[in-house]
Structure 1
């Protein structure tokens, strides 16, 4: 936060001395699913009285987090103009807003919480304009390639799988490593990513045993894959919570005769590890965002949110805050020349983003997009989560 405070102070100094010529203002487009058309009628009256439908929460919390960051920048005199686009507006479709809104002609940065279709549209528009587009929430590349202006903050499944592979190369050389999988598109992707990385790694490849598990697979068949003389690293190669619960429950029946660590996917960050099937298990998973560790800034933001919204913020609030603050500062710090500096370190708010270029086809030196490669390794024991150093 020291560099952030330094930059904000610099803006204040400029604002106080720039009487002759105002600093150049930079434009940001902030895109979120706000559903304003369905929340308010033609007379601008709220439709739901005292209720608040759940489908409004994700977009609103992301927006409120972004707004909190922009309020801080505004108080510091940062020369920014921000335009908010409701991606779920029926009256103003996203494609029309991007092409028809004259206020957006000189936008230098797009930040969005968007689905796959919206992300592809925004990535195409960013490439056409030659301005960076930061996808803050979608956990995949949306099929976008050959676009050096596109930034994926919510790391892709490939990145998570490769990170687990590297981790266990270092820590499980003498262990039995088992991949529990099932039929399915995402499960096949996990297997392919493991195989792909095994072919290019410079270290000794992991010896991974593969076990397919179906709804009919008995617990005994799962336990039969274990080795009582070694630690058993059990990779659960699925994003599905029911499948993870099934495998964990089966492994739990092995009892204390086996040393087991279960390794899971990024969706495990939302699991309830205090439930019966995970009780007493040693669990590891990766996540690109982790806000559970309290910091003075996070505590302050949480209190402000609770006082205004009468509730506790979710991760999307903090995601909106840090992605907006971090990349708005980069836009200002580079005087609008942000695209060549997307991999620049610094201005970390909560997450020390590691933005790196991605080349999906290793045989072709074509930059497909940029991606956050920083991941937290979260270990869960007796329902308590800790971040590994």
Structure 2
């Protein structure tokens, strides 16, 4: 096992000195905790796999020309996501080293001026890569997807729920489900479980809200099932309780879909519905942006809140519990979502016998599940890209998780 971090001059932040102590703690228990069925295929090849991972570490911003850290004892917030991914990848590297897996992990700072993709792609060493992984923005996702296609190797976008305008690229894999997939899953879930209930689609005016509503409408047209009898309610940013009452039925439980990614709008709707929940019962379905909202507050008491999420860390997962307890006790913080993501996708990829074939379909990961399926072009019928279609529905009442589907 070999880790090559941004050529020969990688300078980790002091924040990253956590990693060795975490690894010592984890690795003594890791193999025993990992279920044998976690991965579809094990690595039986003697040829070393080459994996390139692009992470926004902002090293050019963090250090001056003399190599001195610019920010003293502080760390800008925009460093966090990249550092979480890096930390997760390093945990995977330590685990893979312990297992003697034949793989080399090459880490590139995607924000470094010297790591321009068009230059890297011409490098003979880079051309030996078997897999590209990236925490990306839209432009980076498009560039890496095109590069992977030219190299005939897969590219896994681990964070961006966006096709980045890519079509006809069977090498592009989106790990974080797109918004259209969330809309389809919410519609399908309500159709299966609440088809006979009164249903209201609550939204505000806006381009983003128009696009989200179109995703629901498009899925409704292509589902082939009896469409939901769904009324649409368009509100201003300020929501009055009396407006909502006119659309609710005091004799039935009303299903309310909040069709906006704006968490403030969603929170307002939930508060207003909670304030009248003794008379007007409702179940509210929201967007993945609700994952970070605090529903334990008293103002949300009395209504059932559910939202779709690409990630659910089961509290009974022993490895996840180990990580969570360590971060809580040592650093007084929660384990970042990208720590889990960086850890599990690196570990999973390194164990697959064939990146292109083995990653497709359903796989158990260290902390959850994925289901990589093709997305077809509506005009040509050809595959545009692959996407993780595994979504979780997290249902909460008074801030407590009551069910996960």
TM-score (norm 2): 0.85
SS at match of 2:401: strand
Q: Please identify, of 181-190 and 235-244, the stretch whose mean Cα deviation from structure 2 is larger.
A: 181-190
Does 2:381 align with 1:365? yes
SS at match of 1:234: strand
Superposed CA deviations along residues 77-131 of structure 1, whole A, max 9, x for unmatched, are 1111111111111x31432453244321110111111111111111111111111
Of 99, 108, 123, the residue aligned with 1:85 is 108
Structure 2 unaligned runs (5+)? 1-33
SS at match of 2:153: coil
Aligned CA distance change for structure 1 residues 94 and 313 (closer, same or farther; 3 Å): farther
Superposed CA deviations along residues 234-283 of structure 1, whole A, max 9, x for unmatched, are 00000001111222222223231122001000111011112354232210
Of 42, 55, 78, the residue aligned with 1:55 is 78
Q: What is the aligned partner in structure 2 of residue 196 from structure 1? A: 218
Q: How does 1:49-128 map to 2 (within 5 A)?
A: 49-89=72-112, 91-128=113-150
Structure 1 unaligned runs (5+)? 15-21
SS at match of 2:53: strand
Q: What is the aligned partner in structure 2 of residue 165 from structure 1? A: 187
Q: What is the aligned partner in structure 2 of residue 179 from structure 1? A: 201
SS at match of 1:178: strand
Q: What is the aligned partner in structure 1 of residue 367 from structure 2? A: 350
Offset of 1:347 from its aligned partner?
A: 4.8
Q: How does 1:225-304 map to 2 (within 5 A)?
A: 225-291=247-313, 293-303=315-325
Aligned CA distance change for structure 1 residues 208 and 224 (closer, same or farther; 3 Å): same
Q: Please identify, of 379-388 and 204-213, the stretch whose mean Cα deviation from structure 2 is larger.
A: 379-388
CA distance in 1, matches of 2:297, 2:118: 47
Aligned CA distance change for structure 1 residues 170 and 7 (closer, same or farther; 3 Å): closer
Offset of 1:4 from its aligned partner?
A: 6.5
CA distance in 1, matches of 2:40, 2:363: 12
Aligned CA distance change for structure 1 residues 302 and 49 (closer, same or farther; 3 Å): same
Offset of 1:3 from its aligned partner?
A: 3.3
CA distance in 2, matches of 1:303, 1:101: 42
Superposed CA deviations along residues 182-210 of structure 1, whole A, max 9, x for unmatched, are 12122112211111111122322101100
Q: How many residues align?
A: 372
CA distance in 2, matches of 1:324, 1:6: 12
Does 2:52 align with 1:29? yes
CA distance in 2, matches of 1:246, 1:308: 36
Instruction: Please tell me whether the aligned partners of residues 108 and 115 of structure 2 are also in contact (alpha carbons under 8 angstroms).
Output: no
Aligned CA distance change for structure 1 residues 292 and 223 (closer, same or farther; 3 Å): farther
TM-score (norm 1): 0.89
Superposed CA deviations along residues 126-170 of structure 1, whole A, max 9, x for unmatched, are 111111111111122222221100111111111111111111111
Offset of 1:312 from its aligned partner?
A: 3.5
SS at match of 2:363: coil
CA distance in 1, matches of 2:161, 2:236: 26
CA distance in 1, matches of 2:251, 2:280: 8
Q: Please identify, of 367-376 and 183-192, the stretch whose mean Cα deviation from structure 2 is larger.
A: 183-192
SS at match of 1:105: helix
Instruction: Please tell me whether the aligned partners of residues 83 and 104 of structure 1 are also in contact (alpha carbons under 8 angstroms).
Output: no
Instruction: Please tell me whether the aligned partners of residues 39 and 348 of structure 2 are also in contact (alpha carbons under 8 angstroms).
Output: no
CA distance in 2, matches of 1:172, 1:220: 25
Instruction: Please tell me whether the aligned partners of residues 376 and 387 of structure 1 are also in contact (alpha carbons under 8 angstroms).
Output: no
Aligned CA distance change for structure 1 residues 99 and 305 (closer, same or farther; 3 Å): farther
